[in-house]
Amino acid sequence: MAENIMETMMQESARVQQKLLKGFESMMQIRDMEEGVTPREVVYREDKIQVFHYKPEGEDICPVPLLIVYALVNRQYMMDIQDNLSLFRKLIGQGLDLYVIEWGYPSKMDKYLTMEDYIDGYINNVVDFIRESTGSEKVNILGVCQGGALSTIYAALYPDKVQNLVVMVAPIDLDTTDGLLQVWAKFFDVDLMVDTIGNVPGDFLNLVFLWLKPFQLIIDKYVGLLDRLDDPETVKYFLRMEKWIFDSPDQAGETFRKYVKELFQENLLCKGEFKLGGRTVDLRNITMPVLNLFGEQDHLVPPYCSKPLADLVGTKDVTTIAYPVGHIGMYVSSKAQKEMPPTVANWLKERSAPRKAKGPGKEKS
Amino acid sequence: MTGSTDRPNEWMAQWLKMQESLMKEWALSLGKMMKSQASPQEWMKMSMTPGGLYEQWAKTLADLTPERETEGLGKQVYNRIASSSKVYMDLLNFWAKAMSTMKAVPLDRTLTAEEIGEFRNQWMKNYRRFMETLWGSMQAGDDESLGRVLDGATLSASDFTWGLVEPIMKNMAQMPDIVQKISRGDTSAVLDLGGIFAKNYEDTVGRAMIAPSLGYFNQLNEKIGQTVHAYARFNTAKNAFNSMMYGTGLRAAEKVYQRSSEFIGKEPTPETFKAFYRLWWTVNEETYHELLRSEEFATMTRDMITRGLLFRKWVDELVDHLLKFTNIPGKKDMDEIYKTIWELRREVRTQKRAVKALEKQLAVKPKRKKPPSE
């Protein structure tokens, strides 16, 4: 028995070392990975944000442009992570004229940026820019994760500018103890943090996300990769994901304060008491069609947070689709990659009236 | 337990042969000589555990490649893989010890209560040793991140604080007992230590720290005192937090122990170890998840972060006060500037919208004046 144990130890040690050696040489040479793979054009800039335009492909072009509003917490290129796993590429392949906001990295100078600045300022300006440059009276909006909440608020405040609202893994009803984030947020002294350090560091948020599944995310994920370290494609994909996971911009302090206090802790949006720029945000003003997509196994935004949107909006044209995947799976799982783009495109095309033809948009600074 | 501490023997010779082959392979792949490769004699002196050998191997690898290692994504991720592999190897070491202990379990009769107790004690003792390596690595990561959050904190204040309270610590009657407990592996005793530290600190130095001082430098002295006081309180909260995390690790250990009977009588193959590894991390994940959902965790985390932030706040106050004597702007000055810039940006945005609206009106009006029929 003792000999067997030693033999096993040696075998297993050798295996680990062998694998690490194989990965060492190739990984050390990789300094960085690209942020998105689909060709795009910067068409709008304001402060630190910029808007990318992805031209539609095919003949059946959706007449209303689609704006993707991603979360402030991570970067939008998760939806364009590599050639065979790009929702952006698949959406334009379905004939969607795609615009995507890239929020940039708030610096200390941006600590006073408020949610009004993001919604009434940036999002509204981008929507107006797209309307003007495409000649379309309205735009379709797809809000992702935290961006889903921002888009929902925008649609309630500016229903005349939104043709259809699509939300993906959007945290809407946060009066729940289903998810750890929702539990922890209730205990979090956000005032003290913002008053003391201004912007909330992305590193801090990353740490919080890692603690949702510590052993899986800190240990097993990497141990599991050992067996595939000699496969260059696997390693590249893993590196892209790692880059994205830890590429977390700091959060503008005042925006984060309002987001945590009024949405997470007090759930004011669902109660119909959330105020922005002196106006009460009434979700019943969302009279345009709504498509609500979420992951059944999402541990960051549990289904309970996303589902209730249908009961809160003022339209009866609500389509709710649950995918049997987790939060990240909504972007990169084969099921979501295969089914979501045609579903979104067809749903939008059925609800998008033709728009006036006009030339492509030009960059605006 | 046998084998892992016996030197040199047959498996050790095999090990060395394997290491040599691995290092040669690596050297060939780099196309360079292995100048600092450890000699067989040096290998003999090393810690004869997979974790120890792995550590030495990783160190040798790093020594050989400083000029090739470039900062970047690949290196960052590789380091994460390597540190997780270290945990994996440490677990392998523990598993080997546990399997050796299991070897002694007779399968043909029921164990006596004493034998079960002895077996369990041995198992837990080994597990605690393993846990220290694991807990150390995870804690270091957390501290680093937390440190970044509290960025700007003068961590050297730790030495200063310790210097102030060390005499009290040395004289405390409870200390020997607590230290003994800690040395036996009962890390929950750290919490007691923290409690005694906090109490004595509050009763003695703490009071002095926050007491108003007199004289020309009274404001400065008060801020220094408040900063050190805040740091001491942050450390107390951090110790309590760490103790809670460690205690949960011990609860997970009990669960892993209960389940480890599944491995009695099984051949110690790599597959068996992998099954054990899966059992280990999933049981830990579940156990920690229970803690993470609890009010206790949320409260203690809030406490630690709050005290950390208060410490940071006092550091800022202190730095601002010192900067008053210079021409360098402090945090409050910069905040004023940031706020002004933000207000101006808002104003510009509003004005731009107003101009745009006017332009639209001007562009549209002539068209409206013209009747469609003309």
Asked if residue A15 belongs to a domain, the reply is no
What Rg do the C-alpha atoms of chain B give, in angstroms? 31
* B359 and B291 within one domain: no
Q: How far is A246 from chain B (nearest CA, A)?
A: 10
Asked if residue B52 belongs to a domain, the reply is no
B53 chain-A contacts, CB cut-off 8 A:
13
Asked if residue A323 belongs to a domain, the reply is yes
Cα(B9)–Cα(B181) distance, integer angstroms: 37
Decide if B259 contacts B279 (C-beta within 8 A): yes
Decide if A102 contacts A88 (C-beta within 8 A): no
pLDDT at B154 (0 to 100): 37
Under an 8 A CB cutoff, do A10 and B15 touch? yes
Q: Tokens 């099984």 map to which residue?
A: B266
pLDDT at A358 (0 to 100): 46
Residue B72 pLDDT > 90? no
User: Which CATH number does the domain housing residue A144 bear?
Assistant: 3.40.50.1820
DSSP E strands in chain A: the ranges are: 41-46, 49-54, 66-69, 98-102, 139-144, 162-168, 275-276, 279-280, 290-295, 318-323
B367 class by beta-carbon count within 10 Å (0-12 exposed, 13-18 middle, 19+ buried): exposed
The per-residue pLDDT for range B228-266, each reduced to its tens digit, is 888 988 988 988 888 888 889 889 999 998 888 787 777
Q: Which residues contact B120 (CB under 8 A, 6 or more apart)?
A: B257
When CB atoms are compared, the residue of B96, B103, B148 closest to A201 is: B148
Asked if residue A174 belongs to a domain, the reply is yes
Phi, psi values for residue A51, rounded to 5°: -120, 130
Q: Which residues contact A166 (CB under 8 A, 6 or more apart)?
A: A140, A141, A142, A143, A290, A291, A292, A293, A344, A347, A348
- Choosing from B285, B302, B323, the residue where a domain stops is B323
Q: Which residues contact B135 (CB under 8 A, 6 or more apart)?
A: B245, B246, B249
ipTM of model over 0.90 = no
Residue A114 pLDDT > 70? yes
Residue B187 pLDDT > 60? no
Cα(A57)–Cα(A88) distance, integer angstroms: 12
Cα(B316)–Cα(A78) distance, integer angstroms: 37
pLDDT at B47 (0 to 100): 55
The per-residue pLDDT for range A128-161, each reduced to its tens digit, is 999 999 999 999 999 999 999 999 999 999 999 9
Asked if residue B140 belongs to a domain, the reply is yes
Out of A122-131, A162-171, B48-57, B233-242, which region has the weakest mean confidence (pLDDT)?
A: B48-57
Say yes or no: A214 contacts chain B, CB-CB below 8 A: yes
Most confidently modeled of B267-276, B329-338, B354-363?
B329-338
The per-residue pLDDT for range A276-314, each reduced to its tens digit, is 999 999 999 999 999 999 999 998 999 999 999 999 999
Higher pLDDT, A114 or B215: A114
Stretch B170-191: mean pLDDT: 59
The per-residue pLDDT for range A312-327, each reduced to its tens digit, is 999 999 999 999 999 9
Q: Phi-psi bin for B211: left (phi > 0), alpha (psi -120 to 50), beta?
A: beta
Asked if residue B305 belongs to a domain, the reply is yes
pLDDT at A343 (0 to 100): 97
Arithmetic mean of pLDDT over chain B = 73
Asked if residue A209 belongs to a domain, the reply is yes
Say yes or no: A365 contacts chain B, CB-CB below 8 A: no
Out of A137-151, B152-166, B200-214, B337-351, which region has the weakest mean confidence (pLDDT)?
A: B152-166
Asked if residue B100 belongs to a domain, the reply is no
Asked if residue A344 belongs to a domain, the reply is yes
* B352 and B311 within one domain: no
Say yes or no: B88 contacts chain A, CB-CB below 8 A: yes
Asked if residue B136 belongs to a domain, the reply is yes
* B165 and B251 within one domain: yes
Asked if residue A52 belongs to a domain, the reply is yes
* B317 and B184 within one domain: yes
* B305 and B359 within one domain: no
Cα(A169)–Cα(A153) distance, integer angstroms: 15
Decide if A174 contacts A197 (C-beta within 8 A): no
Q: What is the pTM of this model?
A: 0.81
pLDDT at B361 (0 to 100): 87
Cα separations in angstroms, A261 against A152, A185, A190, A337: 18, 9, 7, 34
* B225 and B353 within one domain: no
Cα(A7)–Cα(A24) distance, integer angstroms: 25
Cα(A215)–Cα(A134) distance, integer angstroms: 49
pLDDT at B277 (0 to 100): 93
* B348 and B242 within one domain: no
Asked if residue B16 belongs to a domain, the reply is no
* B258 and B295 within one domain: yes
Asked if residue B343 belongs to a domain, the reply is yes
Say yes or no: B267 contacts chain A, CB-CB below 8 A: yes
* B263 and B138 within one domain: yes
Asked if residue B59 belongs to a domain, the reply is no
pLDDT tier, B155 (very low <50, low <70, confident <90, very high otherwise): very low
B54 chain-A contacts, CB cut-off 8 A:
13, 16-17
Range of the domain at A136: 41-350
Asked if residue A168 belongs to a domain, the reply is yes
| Residue of chain A minimizing CA distance to B23 | A21
Out of A225-234, A320-329, B129-138, B346-355, which region has the weakest mean confidence (pLDDT)?
A: B129-138
Cα separations in angstroms, A159 against A154, A165, A288, B64, B264: 8, 10, 7, 63, 66
Question: What whole-number percentage of chain A has pLDDT above 70?
Answer: 96
The per-residue pLDDT for range A20-30, each reduced to its tens digit, is 887 877 787 78
Enzyme catalytic residues of A: 145
Under an 8 A CB cutoff, do B73 and A3 touch? no
Arithmetic mean of pLDDT over chain A = 92
Asked if residue A281 belongs to a domain, the reply is yes
Total structural domains within chain B? 2
Range of the domain at B350: 336-369
* B362 and B240 within one domain: no
Out of A60-74, A229-243, B281-295, which region has the weakest mean confidence (pLDDT)?
A: A229-243
Angle at A204 between CA A199 and CA A208, to 5 degrees: 135
Q: Phi-psi bin for A333: left (phi > 0), alpha (psi -120 to 50), beta?
A: beta
A32 chain-B contacts, CB cut-off 8 A:
72-73
* B282 and B241 within one domain: yes
- Pull the structure tokens for residue B320: 């601002």
* B308 and B342 within one domain: no
Residue type (1 letter), A50: Q
pLDDT tier, B10 (very low <50, low <70, confident <90, very high otherwise): low
pLDDT at B152 (0 to 100): 38
What Rg do the C-alpha atoms of chain A give, in angstroms? 22
The per-residue pLDDT for range A68-102, each reduced to its tens digit, is 999 999 999 999 999 999 999 999 999 999 999 99
